[in-house]
């Protein structure tokens, strides 16, 4: 049993979970992040970017609604800036990448529950059937007839394919996300050259500007996820600035309203750094989001590095983590 499962079991068995749920929440903003909501098992691409089924997502949303105000846009910005004092836990629900699932699955659920979400778009993907690097890696590694893949970029590595194929996908993705990988295209080419299979034809995979405008008009918030989804921490400062400026220009043209928020692609430490935060701030972004867990409290409120967490697929663990973060400000692991 893992530490997090143990924590949840203890909370449940002692009746503590229900007790803690009845307590007043502490001041903070709990920001959760999704990529795709829907059926992971039927995807031919990266299944790890599916964070919840449609049903699980709706259950999570209803649970949040019972205990916390759900915020986005100006309301969220005023809490982050301190203009509105934080007196309890607020929840923000965010989505990266702009997959078509956002429009077809998540948006109707948010709307039906009267909640606003924040969607971070990549202009280069909007309205297209693009297969981004993580989806391409997942498809090629899953379907390769080879028993091993060998890479030279950014450092030599051999990844075996004769065990669990989903583990192999994660290993190649981890190799791609290394902070010293400054040439993702070269690494992808090494994979294509040896995979022994090719990408399939697909229909449109990302939302259109028209869909984004409809979501915005219905109260959803839109932000930038950079122009090309490049990993900012792997780029020189001038390229980072271009990603932030170009994406904002294109999203503002596409939806017709100012953009002030940004989600760092990948979002883990190393995928962006203090230099990236300085660039974002100097360009006028007011809220930038990372993705390595945690809750934003008055003592730890960094507008250029707002912490986001993934929601647990297990509903009991999701409840336990939400209770611990909102009533105690941290997780015991």
Q: Which residues of this chain interact with Zn ion, rule CB under 5 A?
A: 96-97, 265
107 vs 134, beta carbon nearer Zn ion:
134
90 vs 120, beta carbon nearer Zn ion:
120
Q: How far is the CB of 1 from Zn ion (least distance, A)?
A: 32
Q: How far is the CB of 209 from Zn ion (least distance, A)?
A: 18
Q: How far apart are CA 171 and CA 213, in angstroms?
A: 37
20 vs 134, beta carbon nearer Zn ion:
134
Length of the chain: 333
Q: How far apart are CA 325 and CA 25, in angstroms?
A: 9
Which candidate, 293, 316, 313, 326, places its Cα nearest to that of 6? 316
How far, in Å, are 173, 184, 187 from residue 181 at the CA level?
Answer: 11, 6, 8
Q: How far apart are CA 76 and CA 99, in angstroms?
A: 23
64 vs 95, beta carbon nearer Zn ion:
95
Q: Which residues lie below 8 Å from residue 209, measured CB to CB, with a gap of 6+? A: 126, 127, 254, 255
225 vs 319, beta carbon nearer Zn ion:
225
Q: State the first-to-last Cα distance of the chain, in angstroms, to the nearest integer.
A: 13
Q: How far is the CB of 229 from Zn ion (least distance, A)?
A: 6
Q: Which residue is nearest to Zn ion (CB)?
A: 96
Q: Which residues lie below 8 Å from residue 2, measured CB to CB, with a gap of 6+? A: none
Q: How far is the CB of 96 from Zn ion (least distance, A)?
A: 4
How far, in Å, are 7, 226, 294, 324 from residue 333 at the CA level?
Answer: 9, 32, 11, 11
Q: How far is the CB of 304 from Zn ion (least distance, A)?
A: 18
Q: How far is the CB of 271 from Zn ion (least distance, A)?
A: 10
17 vs 309, beta carbon nearer Zn ion:
309
């Amino acid at each position: 049993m893992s530490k997090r499962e143990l924590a949840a079991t203890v909370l449940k068995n002692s009746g503590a979970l229900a007790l803690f749920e009845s307590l007043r929440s502490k001041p903070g903003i709990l920001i959760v992040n999704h990529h795709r909501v829907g059926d992971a098992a039927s995807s031919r691409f990266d299944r790890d970017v599916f964070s919840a089924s449609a049903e699980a997502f709706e259950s999570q949303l209803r649970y949040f609604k019972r205990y916390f105000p759900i915020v986005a846009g100006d309301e969220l910005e005023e809490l982050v800036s301190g203009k509105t004092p934080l007196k309890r836990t607020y929840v923000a629900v965010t989505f990266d990448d702009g997959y078509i699932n956002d429009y077809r699955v998540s948006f109707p659920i948010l709307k039906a529950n009267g909640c606003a979400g924040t969607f971070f778009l990549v202009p280069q993907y909007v309205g297209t059937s693009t297969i981004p690097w993580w989806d391409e890696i997942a498809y090629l590694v899953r379907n390769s007839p080879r028993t091993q893949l060998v890479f030279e970029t950014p450092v030599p590595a051999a990844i075996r394919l004769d065990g669990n194929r989903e583990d192999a996908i994660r290993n190649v993705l981890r190799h791609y996300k290394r902070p010293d990988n400054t040439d993702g295209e070269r690494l992808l080419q090494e994979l294509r050259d040896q995979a022994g299979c090719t990408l399939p034809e697909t229909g449109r995979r990302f939302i259109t500007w028209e869909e984004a405008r409809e979501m915005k008009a219905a109260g959803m918030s839109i932000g930038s996820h950079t122009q090309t989804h490049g990993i900012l921490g792997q780029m020189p400062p001038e390229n980072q600035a271009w990603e932030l400026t170009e994406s904002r220009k294109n999203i503002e043209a596409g939806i017709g309203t100012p953009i002030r928020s940004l989600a760092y692609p990948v979002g883990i430490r190393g995928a962006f750094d203090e230099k990236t935060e300085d660039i974002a701030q100097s360009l006028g972004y007011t809220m930038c989001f990372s993705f390595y867990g945690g809750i934003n409290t008055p003592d730890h409120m960094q507008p250029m590095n707002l912490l986001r967490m993934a929601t647990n697929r297990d509903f009991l663990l999701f409840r336990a983590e939400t209770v611990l973060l909102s009533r105690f400000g941290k997780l015991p692991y």
